[in-house]
Amino acid sequence: MRDSINICIAGAGTIGTALGHVLAEKNNLNVTLLSVESDVVDDINIKHINTSYFPQIRLNPRLKATGSNTVLETAHVIFLAIPSVAVVPYLNSMLDSICREAVIVNLAKGFGTDSETIVDDLKRIVPNPVCTLKGPTFARELINHMPTAMTVGAEDESVFRLLKDVFDSTTIHTDYTTDVKGVEIMSILKNIYAIIIGIVDAHFDSPNLRFMVFTRAFNEMRHILLKFGGKQETMFRYCGIGDFGLTALNDLSRNRTLGLLIGKGFFSDDISGKVVLEGRIAAGVISERLFTMQVPESEYFMLAELNRVFDGGYNIKKFIGSIINNDLPPVPTNGH
């Protein structure tokens, strides 16, 4: 491990600020937030606070911020903490600034371009080692030093060892898998199925029903994961059951909240066109991919039913009956 590691976190929103605050406590890490918001940069550097995102949290004074892309030139590790739709265009625009040896870590949860995972897209445009970091992580918990778990998905074990050293002696705990595709797909699926759990909970405050649907959803997610080339064992990493549970069952989750609003009847056709949450977007993309792969709709009937909700004109009172009165997808015979 290097005596000193330069960390650049692209994006000074909630997760970027929380991660930077935690890592800045280590004396061997030089942590800088890269932001396009000049007021955020000034707040962090002068007042040691991010008024826009954590107005009541005093940040570690070792955490710096900048609006200059030159920080990328000396970064050993670059965390991408920006919205999923912006990651690929952003990195494309920064190619000349990034050190070729820097490890690039994707934190965004969603698709890149052309229905490919973000990591797949990034690997096509940069020569750098690229990995993914996903897990049951609310930024509000992370910044308050609650123990937090995340999965490193990397093809090269040396990347995991580097990140393990970065997170050593912090509140961030990691596990590791070479199934990068699986980690990325699970981070997409958990948002979709969290919406479904939200719809169910909006109708019934029933633990029996909630965990019946939760189990069926997890099984359908497994089926889709394998279709996309992920490994079944990845579902039992932090990025799998942990992240799905956090997103589906906690009211801090935006996608679960969307499900609650739909279930309560607050999802009009007018609102439908304006909602751009990751789960809503991903539901359509995943369905299109499965259709192209000629996977029968009976093997992803919960997802298909959710897309019918998004299409409009759906009687939401029929949703729960529709998703539980179907046989579970068969156990895959090509499990990894």
3-state secondary structure of 132: strand
Pair of tokens at residue 161: 């060892």
> Is the separation of the CB atoms in 262 and 199 below 8 Å?
yes
Q: Tokens 């069926």 — which residue? A: 216
Of 109, 134, 190, 227, the catalytic one is: 190
> Is the separation of the CB atoms in 226 and 332 below 8 Å?
yes
Going from the C-alpha of 264 to that of each of 33, 191, 258, 260, the distances in angstroms are 39, 19, 10, 6
Active site residue 264: no
> Is the separation of the CB atoms in 316 and 309 below 8 Å?
yes
3-state secondary structure of 172: strand
333 CB-contact burial (10 Å; exposed 0-12 / middle 13-18 / buried 19+)? exposed
Pair of tokens at residue 71: 């920080």
Question: Alpha-carbon distance 260 to 30, whole Å?
Answer: 41
CA-closest candidate to residue 199, choices 316, 42, 30: 316
Residue 70 neighbours by CB distance under 10 Å: 9
Residue 144 neighbours by CB distance under 10 Å: 14
DSSP 228-290: TT--GGGGGSIIIIIHHHHHHH-TT-HHHHHHHHHHTT---HHHHTT---HHHHHHHHHHHHH
> Is the separation of the CB atoms in 25 and 62 below 8 Å?
yes
Pair of tokens at residue 217: 């959803």
Residues taking part in catalysis: 190
